[in-house]
Amino acid sequence: MPDPSDYTIGWVCAVEKELIAAQAFLDEDHGELDSQPANDNNNYTLGRIGKHNVVIVVLPHWEYGLVNAANVARDMIRSFPNLRVGLMVGIGGGAPAKHDICLGDVVVSSAGYAHGGVYQYDYEKTIQNKAFIPTGFLNKPPTFIMAAAAALNATYRMKGHQLKKAIESALDRFPRLQHEFRQPNASTDRLYKPEILHTARDDEDCLAACGDDEWKLTIRRARSADDDDPVIHYGLIASANQLMKDASIRDKISLEKNVLCFEMEAAGLMNQFPFLVVRGICDYADSHKNSLWQGYAAMTAAAYTRDLLHRIAPNKVEAEKKLGDILLDD
């Protein structure tokens, strides 16, 4: 039976595809707990990545957002008393107003300029041209994690990364995932201009509804053979309790705050616990739904996180304060 006290890394997923991607990159699968506290409703996957024992948890089906993420994290921290590091890994919407962000790229929350790596905001409505309300910056991840991220980035810049090969290897091990988690054709990566709205039914294909006329699209520089694919971006992630589907507000926040990515759960964790947030870009946080890239984006985020954990020495993790003690201090 796995011992809950053996696990030091907590990995939180919001949706099932993120959980599948996380499991695909375990170096060793420890199975599940035989028993857990009666007041803990989470379901855990246990395993090893590199030299670290990792517990992976996913939010309940269709229960997204800041509060649900915080509740899941609290139960996990109580049930695994030696957790020292928290990771929120999965998919998010890219903010391409200032940055060359494409679908499948990875955004890593990174602190700077007196703020943490996550910016919390709320906005009045999710329809076009409504205002947003900023509510503050949140806690940054532990310094040793950001030092490892900087060192990993230096390696990537010198030698390139092997994330695509790692994903291909994972899909070879789990061939049932090939259809949903492999990289889609590049032609499906369409960035519509902010004024072009998706007005069709939610289940209607965006290409059929919106088309791919050049006047509707933002034309971007093609990446060369020297560019990483996917590209890893480091910077600010915006988090709120509602899904960002408004390109005008997306661009406003991105330009004012230098935001790279939008998502829905991280602020619920980071205002209480020091979490690192890693997001694979599956859409552009606008009205144009693109579920086709969700599986691959979850894989790129998980593959990057696996590389990062391989760069971190276990004694650095063990020297950190237990997340449970941080919870008691609140």
Question: Which positions ≥6 away from 219 have C-beta within 8 Å?
Answer: none
Q: Which of 115-129, 219-233, 285-299 has the lowest mean pLDDT?
A: 115-129
Record the pTM: 0.92
Q: What is the CATH number of domain 4-329?
A: 3.40.50.1580
Q: Which residue has the tokens 């070879």?
A: 172
Q: How confident is the model at residue 152 (pLDDT cuts 50, 70, 90)?
A: very high
pLDDT in tens, 77-108: 999 999 999 999 999 999 998 889 999 999 99
Q: Is residue 128 helix, strand or coil?
A: coil
Domains in the chain: boundaries: 4-329
Distances (CA, A) of 75 to 19, 27, 58: 17, 25, 12
Predicted pLDDT of residue 233? 95
Residue 126: pLDDT above 50? Answer: no
Q: What pLDDT, on a 0 to 100 scale, did the predictor assign at position 130? A: 53
Angle at 176 between CA 171 and CA 182, to 5 degrees: 45
pLDDT, residue 133, reads 61
pLDDT band at 127 (very low <50, low <70, confident <90, very high): very low
Q: Is the pLDDT of residue 36 over 50?
A: yes
* Residue found under tokens 């092997």: 162
Residue 132 has pLDDT above 80, yes or no: no
pLDDT of residue 273: 73
